[in-house]
A and B are shown apart, each in its own frame.
Chain A
Amino acid sequence: GDSVTQMEGPVTLSEEAFLTINCTYTATGYPSLFWYVQYPGEGLQLLLKATKADDKGSNKGFEATYRKETTSFHLEKGSVQVSDSAVYFCALTNNAGGTSYGKLTFGQGTILTVHP
């Protein structure tokens, strides 16, 4: 079945540092890829998405590029802020075969802590 693997966490950075969180996936067909963020005590918020190979999703300074050749969707930000401290989830949906509608498959999550 489909799966998503995120880099082992947690990640601790100083403010203005560069962020990379690695994400790789296994899926048949052409899944859509997402990054979600979860702040303490909250549900999930969509950060960015990409629906086909070579698409780049971007939002709030975060970027990720859908790389089909490496089955990856790494999250990057050039300069993190304390307010970016949260848990980040890589996820995919895959309608190959028409059986996976409405299902997001998530990675295990990466805790990001940014210090002033």
Chain B
Amino acid sequence: KAGVTQTPRYLIKTRGQQVTLSCSPISGHRSVSWYQQTPGQGLQFLFEYFSETQRNKGNFPGRFSGRQFSNSRSEMNVSTLELGDSALYLCASSLRGTGGAKRNTEAFFGQGTRLTVV
């Protein structure tokens, strides 16, 4: 069974540009979450998509956005890049269903996309 696939693995962009990152979840997984990892802030939750709808969002500016397609693949976009956006962006997929108090299923992570803004 293929794991979570993130593309590209590495990106170098200049300030002011925009970037799109892609995440293909494990087959059958309908939930995709995105995280930003930096040395200073650690791992921070960006947003989660389930059934093509954003269900949860972290404390990031509106320059960070995402979407999910009918096949559960997800993209995140960062517009007007800043130097501080340099980070490892991780995607995770899970089998999360809807409703219920204990739908905490295991999240599987991709290898990440290393974004460098110069």
Contact = CB atoms under 8 A, between A and B. Distances in A.
B7 interface: no
Contact of A102 (B6, B33, B100): B33
A35 to B, nearest CB: 12
B90 A43 contact: yes
Contacts of A30: 101-102
Contact of B103 (A41, A95, A103): A95
Interface string B81-118: 00000000010101010001111101111111000000
A106 B56 contact: no
Interface in B28-84: 31, 33, 35, 42-43, 45, 48, 50, 55-56, 58
Dominant secondary structure of chain A at its interface with chain B: loop
Given A102-B50, A104-B33, A109 B108 contact: no
Interface residues of B, number: 29
Nearest to B114: A41
Interface residues of A, number: 26
Given A42-B111, A43-B110, A102 B102 contact: no
Name, among A45, A93, A99, A104, the residue most crowded by chain B CB atoms within 10 Å (CB to CB): A104
Contacts of A43: 4, 6, 90, 109-112
A89 B92 CA distance: 15
B42 A102 contact: no
Interface of A: 30, 32, 36, 41-46, 49, 51, 89, 91, 93, 95, 99-109
